[in-house]
Amino acid sequence: MSNTDTPLSLEDQILLMKNYVVFRQKSKARTLLRKEGYFRVSRYGKYLLSFTNVLRSKPDQTLLYDLYIFDEALREIFFRYTQKAELQFKNHLSNSVSLKLNNPTFYLDSSSYTPSRGESDKIKRTRYQKKFTGFSTDLKKSENKLISKPHMYPELKAYRKGGPRYRKRIPAWTAFMYFDFGTIEHIYAYLRLDLRKEVLVSGYPESIRKVSKIDTKNMDTWIAAIRNLRNTCSHHNMLVGKTSSIVHLDNLDSAVVLPSNTDLFSRMYALKKVLDLKDSESLKNDVIKLIKKTKFNIHQFNILPLNWETLFDQIHKF
């Protein structure tokens, strides 16, 4: 099969970028393209071009640079808080279920899970059950990898031959620190309903609600949103204007606090649900600081709702 794409020189890339942005200083354009790559930079140009009805003209290179710098700083903020959310949820999950079952390796025990995920739809039930077999196998392989790779995980030598915990499985509170967030997401999704509830009751003891099945399903969407956001930030992909997985509205919240369930603010909504109160407030303050020092009006480009601070404050903590 032939590939119709052809490699482009730096000058060719600048010519193509002129379709989206007006360049007055080609040297700066060359520096940016050499460092960041045409595909990444062109996405910002295309995004700005879609707002010509607001700008009234083709955007210039200064705005392109400002948007790029803003997006880079925004990714740094969100990556930091998605990491916090990930660590907090891993702790809630490992500690609460281990204590509930008095079983530190519950995650390797098939009796901890519901392969159908309690789904009433026959097609979904069948799909979940089919995937569970592979998930369970991969989970055991992931745990075994921690034991069998001494050069990668020397700190786990106690679980290897000659160690005091030889032939013991790695407890959840240790293994989960190595598992990626996607694996944690699936562990929670497949847990028995009583254990899913226990994670939320134990992890959020100040919650004013009686945790229900709906709450556990809502949490599934919040975790997925945070994981998607984390992946976007960690891979240095464009965050501004990105849409992602659907976030469910908490029953305690008014619909007005979630204008869209797939935009960037919906990721902030999910973070406030999962993070502790102090961290969620710090997230809001860090975003405010960034916006204040940004050289363009972010609301012109639908990056966040105009009243996002008010909406964020109205979101009920889980």
Identify whether the C-beta of residue 86 lies closer than 8 Å to the C-beta of residue 184.
Answer: yes
DSSP notation for 183-200 = HHHHHHHHB-HHHHHHHH
pLDDT of residue 73 exceeding 50: yes
State mean pLDDT over 1-6. Answer: 62
Q: What is the pLDDT of residues 161-219, one digit of tens each?
A: 889 998 899 999 999 999 999 999 999 999 999 999 999 999 999 988 999 999 999 99
Residue 72: half-sphere exposure toward Cβ, Cα within 13 Å? 9
Residue 2, both tokens: 């032939």
Q: Where along the chain do its domains lie? A: 67-314
3-state secondary structure at position 22: strand
- pLDDT, residue 129, reads 95
DSSP lists the bridge partners of residue 22 as 60
Q: What is the pLDDT of residues 125-149, one digit of tens each?
A: 999 999 999 999 999 999 999 999 9
pLDDT-based confidence at 48, cuts 50/70/90?
very high
- Residues 145 and 258: their CA atoms lie apart, in Å, by 41
Identify whether the C-beta of residue 10 lies closer than 8 Å to the C-beta of residue 30.
Answer: yes
pLDDT of residue 1 exceeding 50: no
Identify whether the C-beta of residue 14 lies closer than 8 Å to the C-beta of residue 34.
Answer: no
Q: What is the DSSP letter of 297?
A: -
pLDDT-based confidence at 244, cuts 50/70/90?
very high
| 263 closest CA partner among 215, 225, 295, 294 | 225
State mean pLDDT over 110-119. Answer: 95
3-state secondary structure at position 51: coil
Percent of the chain with pLDDT over 90: 82
- Residues 225 and 273: their CA atoms lie apart, in Å, by 11
- Residues 297 and 295: their CA atoms lie apart, in Å, by 7
Q: What is the pLDDT of residues 269-283, one digit of tens each?
A: 999 999 999 999 999
200: left (phi over 0), alpha (psi -120 to 50) or beta: alpha
> Could you report how far apart the first and last alpha carbons of the chain are, in Å?
52
Radius of gyration of the chain (CA): 23
- Residues 255 and 161: their CA atoms lie apart, in Å, by 56
Q: Which residue has the tokens 């899970």?
A: 113
3-state helix, strand, coil in the chain (%, to 5): 65, 0, 35
Kindly report the pTM of this predicted structure. Answer: 0.93
Query: Dihedral (C-alpha) 207, 226, 83, 309: value to the nearest 10 degrees?
Result: -70
Residue 5, both tokens: 């794409």
| 281 closest CA partner among 247, 240, 313 | 313
- pLDDT, residue 62, reads 93
pLDDT-based confidence at 3, cuts 50/70/90?
low
Percent of the chain with pLDDT over 70: 99
Amino acid at 291: I
How far is CA 200 from each of CA 95, 137, 205, 222, 315, rounded to the nearest angstrom? 11, 26, 8, 13, 17
| Residues ≥6 apart with Cβ < 8 Å to 123 | none
